[in-house]
Amino acid sequence: TGDINPTTILIPGLPSIIAYKPRISPHPSSALRDSKPLDPSQPETRNTAPAMAQSTAHRRLLQEYRALTNNPPEGITAGPVSEDDLLHWEALIQGPEGTPFEGGVFPAELKFPKDYPLAPPTMKFLVDMWHPNIYPSGLVCISILHPPGDDPNHYEHASERWSPIQSVEKILISVMSMLAEPNDESPANVEAAKMWRERRTEYEQKVRDGVRRSLGL
């Protein structure tokens, strides 16, 4: 159901990679723009996109997608998987230069709550990632994805956590920076954090091996 088209990503020294990029107009279609909310007294139908598009979350996500399309950050591609599901995005993040992730292109998904931007999305990598701040499941653990509230361990400043002024672009840029500079104070992957602290060379080689596997090399 997702309208996606292949995009070739060229990385010096490695074969071209066929990835997938969302193909959704950054401008709402007339169906989305002119739609009216569903009558709450009527049974819910499967196609609720027109009604949902009226919500703050959908208006905000369309606005953010338009901004990302017009001025994409270097090394990042992201957008909704389809017009029918604006709360589900896919992203590609290029490994930062000068890090063991260099040369990799890492697919991820973001899932947004219905009350976005009051609450943050979740982000999950769809390939194996050996990193202190990424759970073995691929789920990303980073301050900007944590909702406002108490931090009992005092690892984070309130300003680092999610707020409605944050954006998808800021999330993706923060995650790219996280790949280059892990935070081992409150790790999601304890073994990766321990290796990063105590056996840095081994950690970097393990990451490089994972990058090559993800590229099919």
Catalytic residues: 141
d(CA 139, CA 55): 27
Predicted model pTM: 0.73
| The total number of structural domains that make up the chain | 1
The boundaries of the domain holding residue 105 are 4-27+47-214
Residue 111 within any structural domain of the chain: yes
Please name the helix (run of DSSP H) or strand (run of DSSP E) that holds residue 111, with its range, or none. Answer: strand 105-111
d(CA 56, CA 47): 18
Residue 100 within any structural domain of the chain: yes
Residue 163 within any structural domain of the chain: yes
For residue 87, give the CATH number of its domain. Answer: 3.10.110.10
- Both tokens of 25, joined, read 């107009």
**Which tens digit of pLDDT belongs to each residue from 1-34?**
444 343 444 434 433 333 434 444 444 433 333 3
Residue 39 within any structural domain of the chain: no
**Which tens digit of pLDDT belongs to each residue from 144-181?**
998 876 555 556 566 667 788 899 999 999 999 999 99
Cα torsion through 95, 132, 78, 16, rounded to 10: 30
Residue 37 within any structural domain of the chain: no
